[in-house]
Chains A and B, each alone.
Chain A
Amino acid sequence: MIILKDIKKSFNKSQVLRGINLKINRGEVVTILGPSGSGKTTLLRCLNFLERPEAGIVQIGNIQVNAKNATKKDMLSVRKQSAMVFQHYNLFAHKTVIENVMEGLVVVKKVKKREARIESEKVLEKVGLSDKLHFYPSQLSGGQQQRVGIARALALNPEVILFDEPTSALDPELVGEVLSVIKEIAQDGITMVVVTHEMSFAKEVSDRVLFMDGGVIVEEGTPLEIFHAPKEERTRRFLHRISGESFFTALKEQVN
């Protein structure tokens, strides 16, 4: 379970998060939508303290931290509750695929190397990369790298997996393979928070959709509520602007 209470964050005098309150239940898949600058990525990064909020409480599982007087130890313990999939994959460049997935298990969770290897191979099979175990990131396509990134997060079996625009940096024809992996994971019942621009994906997979704008959560609800019956004007405007794009995205997914 994830609870955010009154999260505030500023960068250089401008307030990016103006008091966010949020509760996510176990097994929920929550998608965060919004225009750039709305604070959605910052919010995601506050969940694992890659950004440090000025005020508010972050709770993941049974670890609760008050952002104001959070020590390094506090931040570390919250981080261990989650795992992140990055827009630019951020695979460890000097390690092979299998080493990338094992790294967190061995170094952070102190799992024995042999067990870590078995676990990693399992997870890599799930994302369809069993034949690339000893490749280096530079030898893989973007889609393959991102799937390794997902495997790396999965292997840690965290309370929640955070996705920061996981397909935004991919060539269009590679987006599909990554989205289907993420869909599978969602169906397995893993708690997920996803920041994305892929509207049809959000519609298909989310249990709940959040729309953010100007540092606040403007509206939240089920995909049906948000996409077909938005209550707020800002939500409507955003969806209207995006509707052109999502039309083409739907076409692309059909072609794939």
Chain B
Amino acid sequence: MGKAFDPLLIIEFLPTLLHYLGVTLEILAASIFLGLILGVAAAIPRLFKIPFLNQLVILYVSFIRGTPILIQLFLVFYGLPAILMIFNIDISKLEAIYFVIITYAISNGASFSEIFRGAIRAVDKGQTEAAYSVGMTSTQNFFRIVLPQALRIAFPNMANSFIGSLKDTSLAFSIGVMDMVGRGDTLISATAHALEVYITLSIIYYAVVLLFEKIFNKLEKHFNRYQSADLSVAA
């Protein structure tokens, strides 16, 4: 580490790195979207106790929550081509970014399925009984009564998962993706000012996280606007 620390470089590096923020956010958006679909699909066997699929999901969730995201990245990066080769599909030329999106989607799917499952079970049983008492079927009850309330309950956890996933994208560069951190790496090779690059990256991540936290807070307040903590209102 030879060169002197130059704080001005932090400002200089900002535009260069911000330019690639879009890639990071694309990865995030795609993996969240796919993760939601996967999460719903995985929650269903668990909630309705579908045999075999139920056990499969339990295994899937346990493995994802039991291994570091870095290991998952490598497993998908080396494993997916190998599996698809069995079906004679050759994806060895596929860009790294797709492996990253797939890995994060699989990881998010596991978290989301657990969040959905917990939220649905958290809806007061009395709501379902009331639904049945007016003659609704279990399907009507699920979609009209339970699900809307479960979404509200799930929201804070989903928001946390979202922000966690944003932070996880910082590891994508390890399999060669040219996102914000990847660009930072090339900047380091060019200028040897690693500290300044990482400080700039930290500032960008921090700002984006704060922005999302503000948005989620506002959304949460909006969803809960009809929940009052104090029920002892005079008649």
Q: Which residues of A contact B (CB under 8 A)?
A: 48, 50, 72, 76, 79-80, 82-84, 86, 88, 90-94, 103-104, 107-109, 136, 138-144, 152-153, 156, 162, 171, 174, 177
Residue of A nearest to B224 (CB): A138
A83: which of B134, B137, B228, B233 is its contact (CB, 8 Å)?
Answer: B134
Q: Is the CB of B152 within 8 A of A94?
A: yes
Tell whether A141 pairs with B233 under 8 Å between CB atoms, given A94-B149, A94-B152, A103-B144: yes
For the complex formed, measure the closest distance between the CB of B176 and the CB atoms of chain A, giving whole angstroms.
47
A-B contacts, CB under 8 A, total: 82
- Asked whether A104 and B134 contact (CB < 8 A) given A90-B129, A138-B227, the answer is yes
> Does the CB pair A138–B228 fall under 8 Å?
yes
**A83–B133 contact, CB under 8 A?**
yes
Q: Are B127 and A90 in contact (CB under 8 A)?
A: yes
Beta-carbon contact of B130 and A86 below 8 Å: yes
List 26 contacting pairs A-B, 8 Å CB cutoff, sorted by A.
Answer: A50-B129, A50-B132, A50-B133, A76-B135, A76-B137, A79-B132, A84-B129, A84-B130, A86-B126, A90-B126, A90-B127, A93-B127, A93-B149, A93-B227, A94-B152, A103-B134, A107-B140, A108-B134, A108-B140, A109-B135, A139-B228, A141-B231, A141-B232, A141-B235, A153-B134, A174-B235
Question: B2 CB to closest chain A CB, in angstroms?
Answer: 62
CB proximity of B221 to chain A, nearest CB, Å: 15
Give the Cβ gap from A180 to chain B, nearest Cβ, in Å: 13
B145 at the interface (CB under 8 A from A): yes
Which residues of B have CB within 8 Å of A139?
Answer: 226, 228, 233
Central interface residue in A88, A90, A109, A171, by most chain B CB within 10 Å: A90
Question: Least Cβ distance of A245 to chain B in Å?
Answer: 24
Contact of A141 among B124, B135, B140, B234 (CB under 8 A): B234
Q: Which residue of chain A has the shortest Cβ distance to B223 in the bound complex?
A: A94
Chain B residues within an 8 Å CB radius of A82: 133
Q: How far is the CA of A82 from the CA of B132 in the complex (A)?
A: 10
A108: chain B residues at CB < 8 Å are 134-136, 140
CB distance from B128 to the nearest CB of A (A): 9
Q: Which residues of B contact A50 (CB under 8 A)?
A: 129, 132-133
Asked if B79 CB lies within 8 Å of chain A CBs, one says no
Interface contact A48-B144, CB-CB below 8 Å: no
A174 to B145 Cα, complex, angstroms = 28
B15 within 8 A of A: no
Tell me which residues across on chain B come within 8 A of A76, comparing CB atoms.
135, 137
B235 with A177: CB separation less than 8 A? yes
Q: Which residues of A contact B145 (CB under 8 A)?
A: 92
Known: A83-B134, A152-B134, A171-B232. 14 other contacts (CB 8 A): A48-B132, A79-B132, A79-B135, A83-B133, A84-B133, A86-B126, A90-B126, A92-B127, A93-B124, A93-B227, A108-B140, A138-B228, A141-B232, A156-B134
